[in-house]
């Protein structure tokens, strides 16, 4: 054990000498390793940060939540021209399903609209996301409030002109004033603010902070329901339900309500939220694979660079190798000496790459409204990868050094 510790110490000394005596050559050789490790760890850190942000945003939603409407979240065998002919779900269907789905814990009716301008006195906020929903939406979405409340069943059913607004919208319109009880104008009407949502930050699926939530029945009364809108029935099943049986029951109920024949294909889509998260996981995995492929080319170049510098190092120290062997140094001692040196050199390049990623995460987190994370797992991956490249690129030069004949080595060095 002491022998290998001494060997590691000597190899570290040789590596440091190589760095000091051949700065430019060593720098160019390690540049590929540094870039490769930087590339893969930067991609992994970015993908992990994105994955964590998405999971945090989706944590309030049940994975079994269903979005029932005339389109699909992901790929479909139904051609686009046919999907465009599918009818929208409507409020009557929502009420029917609400009364006839015993395994549904909660249903909500929502309409997706184009952005709208919202005014308060002389202030106007443009491109505001208007979210018309029923009062049950809060039981599915799980909003948290800094002030006020969500609109109740009576206000929802009557289509009252009340609204819940996001934190940024409240700040933009009212500044330091308390928004509760204040009235904003849109669609030619005055809406009374009854609640302010807790600030969450910009999300992957919209920004609640810049949204205004109103009763869906106001929109149905004021604008009607037409093709320019996208109505959705959001369904949250009871816990522990058999999802396949629940989807089959939901399909049959809606087909019966629409009077569809047995041989007719469904003209609606049951989008389970878990399918959407699986789609996102697939995209994240593809991004990870893409990052590894990109980094592999840099690591390949870096590996060749380190192998080259190690062959040169063997050539320069041929006489020393011969002397060590003549004094009794075994082949494995010579082999491990050069192998450790290659690993140490690659480890330097890897640590520099990881350090650059760490600085980049700090810089981007402070500059953008997004938290970039360099996890311990990714640091260990980068370190392990650097060591692996060192072993692969150093093994051939180390073997060639270990196989040198001591007499020939001393003679060639004279």
Q: What is the DSSP track for 249-308?
A: HHHHHHHHHHT--TTSPPSSEEEEHHHHHHHHHHHHHHHHHHHHHHHHHHHHHHHHHHHH
According to DSSP, the β-strands at 189-197 and 162-165 are parallel
Question: Is the predicted pLDDT of residue 133 greater than 90, yes or no?
Answer: yes
SS3 content of the chain, % helix, strand, coil (to 5): 60, 15, 25
pTM, two decimal places: 0.64
pLDDT of the residue at 209: 83
Question: Is the predicted pLDDT of residue 162 greater than 90, yes or no?
Answer: yes
Question: Is the predicted pLDDT of residue 219 greater than 70, yes or no?
Answer: yes
Question: Is the predicted pLDDT of residue 205 greater than 60, yes or no?
Answer: no
pLDDT of the residue at 43: 81
Q: What is the three-class DSSP state of 67?
A: strand
Supply the DSSP string of 153-190, one letter for each residue. Answer: HHHHHHT-SEEEE-HHHHHHHHTTS--TT-EEEETTEE
What tens digit of pLDDT does each residue of 17-62 get? 666 666 776 777 777 788 888 888 888 888 888 777 776 666 656 6
Question: Is the predicted pLDDT of residue 325 greater than 80, yes or no?
Answer: no
Tell me the average pLDDT of the chain.
Answer: 82
pLDDT of the residue at 278: 65
Higher pLDDT, residue 130 or 71: 130
Question: Is the predicted pLDDT of residue 392 greater than 80, yes or no?
Answer: yes
Question: Is the predicted pLDDT of residue 171 greater than 60, yes or no?
Answer: yes
pLDDT of the residue at 234: 92
How does residue 175 score in pLDDT terms, banded at 50, 70 and 90? confident
How does residue 144 score in pLDDT terms, banded at 50, 70 and 90? confident
Burial of residue 380 (number of CB atoms within 10 Å: 0-12, 13-18, 19+): exposed
pLDDT of the residue at 394: 83
- The residue-averaged pLDDT of 103-116 equals 90
Dist CA 392 CA 302 (whole Å): 11
Higher pLDDT, residue 133 or 1: 133
Question: Is the predicted pLDDT of residue 329 greater than 70, yes or no?
Answer: no
């Amino acid at each position: 054990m002491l022998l290998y510790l001494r060997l590691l110490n000597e190899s570290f000394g040789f590596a440091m000498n190589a760095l000091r005596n051949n700065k430019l050559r060593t720098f160019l050789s390690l540049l590929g390793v540094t870039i490769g490790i930087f590339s893969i760890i930067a991609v992994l850190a970015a993908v992990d940060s994105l994955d964590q942000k998405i999971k945090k945003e989706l944590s309030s939603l049940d994975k079994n939540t269903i979005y029932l409407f005339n389109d699909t979240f992901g790929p479909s065998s139904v051609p686009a021209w046919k999907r465009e002919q599918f009818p929208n779900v409507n409020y009557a269907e929502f009420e029917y399903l609400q009364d006839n789905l015993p395994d549904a814990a909660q249903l909500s009716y929502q309409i997706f609209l184009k952005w709208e301008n919202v005014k308060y006195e002389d202030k106007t906020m443009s491109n505001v996301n208007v979210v018309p929903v029923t009062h049950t939406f809060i039981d599915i979405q799980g909003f948290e409030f800094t002030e006020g409340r969500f609109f109740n069943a009576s206000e929802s059913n009557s289509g009252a002109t009340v609204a819940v607004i996001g934190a940024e919208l409240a700040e933009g319109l009212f500044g330091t004033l308390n928004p509760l009880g204040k009235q904003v104008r849109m669609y030619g009407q005055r809406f009374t603010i009854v609640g302010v949502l807790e600030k969450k930050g910009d999300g992957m699926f919209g920004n609640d902070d810049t949204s205004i939530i109103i009763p869906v029945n106001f929109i149905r009364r004021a604008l009607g329901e037409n093709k320019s809108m996208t109505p959705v029935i959001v369904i949250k099943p009871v816990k522990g339900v058999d999802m396949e049986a629940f989807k089959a029951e939901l399909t049959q109920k809606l087909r019966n309500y629409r009077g569809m024949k047995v041989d007719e294909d469904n003209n609606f889509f049951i989008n389970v939220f878990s399918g959407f998260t699986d789609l996102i996981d697939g995209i994240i995995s593809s991004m990870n694979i893409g990052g590894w492929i990109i980094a592999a080319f840099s690591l390949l170049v870096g590996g060749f660079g380190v192998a080259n510098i190690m062959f040169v190092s063997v050539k320069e120290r041929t006489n020393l190798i011969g002397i060590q062997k003549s004094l009794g140094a075994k082949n494995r001692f010579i082999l491990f000496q050069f192998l450790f040196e290659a690993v140490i050199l690659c480890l330097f390049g890897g640590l520099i790459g990881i350090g650059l990623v760490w600085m980049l995460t700090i810089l981007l987190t402070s500059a953008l409204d997004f938290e970039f994370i360099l996890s311990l797992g990714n640091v260990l991956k980068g370190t392990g990868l650097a060591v692996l490249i060192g072993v692969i690129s150093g093994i051939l030069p180390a073997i060639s050094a270990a196989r040198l004949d001591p007499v020939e080595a001393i003679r060639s060095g004279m």
